[in-house]
Structure 1
């Protein structure tokens, strides 16, 4: 028993300091291929990556924004990179992120939320509450000017754009059925043909 306790103590001694919060655990976690890892309100959340259709919708958005990205020198990526929400330092991994090429970073891997132009999420059965509630609040708190929510699983599949932040919350919510164009407001200023999201 004493030997086992000594081994445990020596194992912990090799760490300079054990993680005390979910964020600190996230910071020391190695990459986990095939999993989405996020920190939301002090909770460590890990979920498998979406099915192919889920991923393809984010890729379709990426393709639709290609002319705009080329014109303005912006970067876009389905499936990341992660966004550090300034303030609480929560870490979110959107299904799609649009940012200028010089977007400031938190550490090596995360973009700082206030430098991001748009975050987009594709709703899945396991993410409905997180995408419609927690992420709406956190992206606004982090000053991400546009949050695009693609919901292919709703009774009436729809796309919602959240914009115009005031007092840490989005003031404008614009929803349209998939198949109808929707305006992505400033700083993007782009009319998105949502028929690309028909499954």
Structure 2
């Protein structure tokens, strides 16, 4: 196992949350691995992919809710704050939560890649580690760059131990606790 390199945080969590409250609506901020990150505002295809997933989840698991742009407390040992493109929780699972939810009720975090220079580091490296460290059972990455869907499972020691990668168009199974299979054919038209 590769040793983790500890980074000096840019600021405290409290300072980050104050900065985030004052940020203009044109940007979204995250606090990942002690560093402030700017997350791009979603484009139209990004939003359509979210809606595709929302519809599938509503049809296949009406007992669950898929919430967009949800702030999560991640990386418990570093007090991280990530803004997931979506989180899947049991109905009522966010009741009483503030802007930054504890990840205890989250069954799946979702990221849809954006076309910016930081998407590789953010969505493919930092987010999986943060979500795994928070104990989120599944991480679903819809990767528009290489037209794939990756399902990360089995979080342990701050890492997902398993991942399954499928091309757009292939059926993708989301194991327990979600337990649904997605037809990803519609994603082919939304990859742009």
Give TM class, smaller chain. Answer: 0.7 to 0.9
Q: Larger deviation: 107-116 or 132-141?
A: 107-116
Runs of 4+ in 1 over 3 A off after TM superposition: 101-107
> Structure 1: any 5+ residue segments left out of the alignment?
1-19
Give the Å deviation of 1:37.
Answer: 1.1
**Higher Rg:** 1
The answer to whether the 8 Å contact 2:133/2:156 transfers is: no
Task: Tell me which protein shows more strand as a share of its residues.
Answer: 2
> Structure 2: any 5+ residue segments left out of the alignment?
1-9
Deviations 1:141-167 (A, max 9, x none): 11010000001122xx11000001223
Is 1:120 equivalent to 2:110 in the alignment? yes
Residue 162 of structure 1 corresponds to 152
The answer to whether the 8 Å contact 1:103/1:112 transfers is: no
Give the Å deviation of 1:62.
Answer: 1.0
Residues 111 and 132 (structure 1 numbering): CA distance in 2 closer, same or farther, change over 3 Å? same
Query: 1:133 aligned to 125, 132, 145, which one?
Result: 125
Aligned pair count reads: 175
Give the Å deviation of 1:104.
Answer: 6.2
Deviations 1:21-69 (A, max 9, x none): 2522222232632322100111111233021111211121111111234
TM-score normalised to the size of structure 2? 0.82
TM-score normalised to the size of structure 1? 0.80
Residue 77 of structure 2 corresponds to 87
Q: Larger deviation: 47-56 or 27-36?
A: 27-36
Cα RMSD (Å) of the superposition? 2.1
2:175 and 2:52 map into 1 onto residues whose CA distance is 19
